[in-house]
């Protein structure tokens, strides 16, 4: 074909001679396989799905997050007394410091203060985190007041460490707040009759007397009911309140405080379990080994396991040998006396 003929054909086909030549010479681009494109789309799709799942878990409170403990307020319906065992709390701090917080707490966003939270349970873990200056691991869920109360009750029922009077005061607070008896039953995992007994005890005891005595974990419903019966007499109530304000009353163990108040109310000669304040036993270097408490019938040595656990085990193993040595010395002394 002549060059002139080729030019004429190019004019009618809408292509220039130059473009024909260019197309002929232009290298072809590498093609991307449809499988690679599909794989890339699947990857983006998986990431989006994981993000949606994560966002849903956060929204529903199924995923624990870290929160500054100074932003957390206690539940408006406290189920515990503020006075707790300091040794137990120190042990919790040590555990979290060494192993971290293993179980998250449960929170809700504060209903009236933006940026703050209220705790449903885990207040000791929150206090420990605050003392250590670290964030607290928490589930944050949308909880109504009813949900909050139920969550508190479920947690405490699982641990079974609320004392009788704490349960009674909690039941009274819930009823005062307008919660139905059915919800109080669920919160405390008890039947209707038991709720009635708890509320009755809480109503009959003056708050100042309960606060002065404290949680008294070893005092059950029977003895609290006996105190209620005793202070039905106005003179007995005055005696119990008077002894609760005496110097030294607050320094006793909480169970002993109940016994002292009960003795005053009933004018009995009952004595508290601990007649003397515990005596601290120290090593030659001045370090605390343990505490000795003496009563009319008992001599008790208590050793903190978080400090001297090894010595406690060692002493337990050595007790038979020590007792035999004591008996031998006693026999020798008696023989010498004879």
d(CA 201, CA 311): 43
What is the pLDDT at residue 269? 47
Q: What is the DSSP string of 47-115?
A: HHHHHHHHHHHHHHT-S-EEE-GGGEEPPSS--S-S---HHHHHHHHHHHHHH---S-EEEEE-SSSTT
Answer whether residue 143 shows pLDDT above 60. yes
Q: What's the pTM value of the predicted model, to 2 decimals?
A: 0.54
Name which of 143, 70, 136 is nearest 108 in CA terms.
143
What is the pLDDT at residue 19? 45
For residue 67, the cross-strand partners are 136
Long-range residue pairs from 191-197, CB within 8 A, at least 24 positions apart, any chain: 195/171, 197/221, 197/225
The predicted-structure confidence for 38-56, as pLDDT tens digits, reads as follows 655 555 455 555 545 545 5
Q: Which range is least confidently modeled, 13-22, 229-238, 302-311, 325-334?
A: 13-22
Mean pLDDT value across the chain? 78
DSSP-derived secondary structure letter, 250 = T
* Other CB atoms within 10 A of residue 281 CB: 13
Mean pLDDT of 228-243: 93
Alpha helices in the chain (DSSP H): 3-13, 17-25, 34-60, 86-99, 123-132, 145-159, 164-176, 181-188, 192-204, 207-213, 221-230, 234-244, 254-266, 305-337
Sheet of 299-302: strand order equals 279-282, 288-294, 299-302
Helix axes 192-204, 164-176, angle to 10 degrees: 90
Q: How confident is the model at residue 5 (pLDDT cuts 50, 70, 90)?
A: low
Please, are residues 236 and 266 in contact by the beta-carbon 8 Å criterion? yes
Q: What's the angle, vertex CA 268, arms to CA 265 and CA 273, rounded to 5?
A: 95
d(CA 188, CA 169): 12
Token digits of residue 259: 């016994």
Q: How confident is the model at residue 12 (pLDDT cuts 50, 70, 90)?
A: very low
Answer whether residue 95 shows pLDDT above 80. yes
d(CA 215, CA 83): 7
Comparing 37 with 244, the larger pLDDT belongs to: 244
Please, are residues 170 and 194 in contact by the beta-carbon 8 Å criterion? no
The predicted-structure confidence for 194-205, as pLDDT tens digits, reads as follows 999 999 999 999
Find all residues with CB under 8 Å of 300, minimum gap 6, and list them: 292, 293, 294
């Amino acid at each position: 074909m002549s060059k002139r003929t080729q030019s004429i054909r190019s004019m009618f086909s809408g292509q220039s001679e130059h473009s024909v030549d260019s197309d002929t010479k232009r290298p072809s681009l590498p093609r991307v396989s449809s499988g690679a494109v599909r794989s890339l789309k699947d990857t983006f799709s998986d990431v989006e799905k994981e993000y949606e799942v994560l966002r849903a878990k956060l929204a529903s409170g199924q995923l624990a997050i870290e929160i500054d403990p100074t932003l957390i307020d206690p539940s408006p319906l406290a189920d515990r007394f503020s006075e707790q065992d300091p040794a137990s709390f120190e042990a919790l701090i040590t555990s979290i410091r060494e192993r971290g917080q293993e179980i998250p707490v449960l929170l809700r966003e504060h209903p009236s203060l933006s940026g703050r939270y209220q705790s449903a349970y885990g207040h000791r873990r929150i206090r420990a985190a605050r003392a250590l200056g670290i964030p607290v691991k928490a589930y944050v869920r949308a909880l109504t007041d009813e949900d909050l109360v139920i969550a508190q009750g479920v947690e405490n029922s699982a641990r079974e460490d609320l004392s009788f009077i704490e349960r009674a005061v909690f039941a009274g607070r819930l009823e005062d707040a307008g919660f139905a008896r059915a919800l109080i039953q669920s919160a405390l995992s008890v039947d209707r009759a038991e709720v009635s007994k708890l509320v009755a005890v809480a109503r009959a005891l003056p708050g100042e007397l309960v606060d002065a005595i404290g949680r008294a974990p070893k005092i059950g419903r029977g003895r609290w009911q006996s105190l209620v019966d005793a202070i039905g007499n106005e003179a007995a109530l005055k005696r119990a309140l008077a002894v609760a304000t005496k110097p030294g009353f607050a320094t006793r163990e909480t169970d002993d405080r109940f016994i002292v108040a009960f003795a005053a109310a009933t004018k009995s000669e009952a004595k508290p379990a601990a007649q003397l304040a515990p005596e601290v036993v120290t090593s030659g270097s001045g370090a605390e080994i343990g505490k000795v408490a003496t009563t009319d019938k008992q001599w008790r040595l208590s050793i903190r396991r978080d400090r001297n656990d090894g010595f406690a085990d060692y002493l337990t193993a050595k007790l038979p040998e020590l007792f035999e040595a004591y008996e031998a010395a006693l026999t020798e002394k008696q023989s010498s006396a004879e």
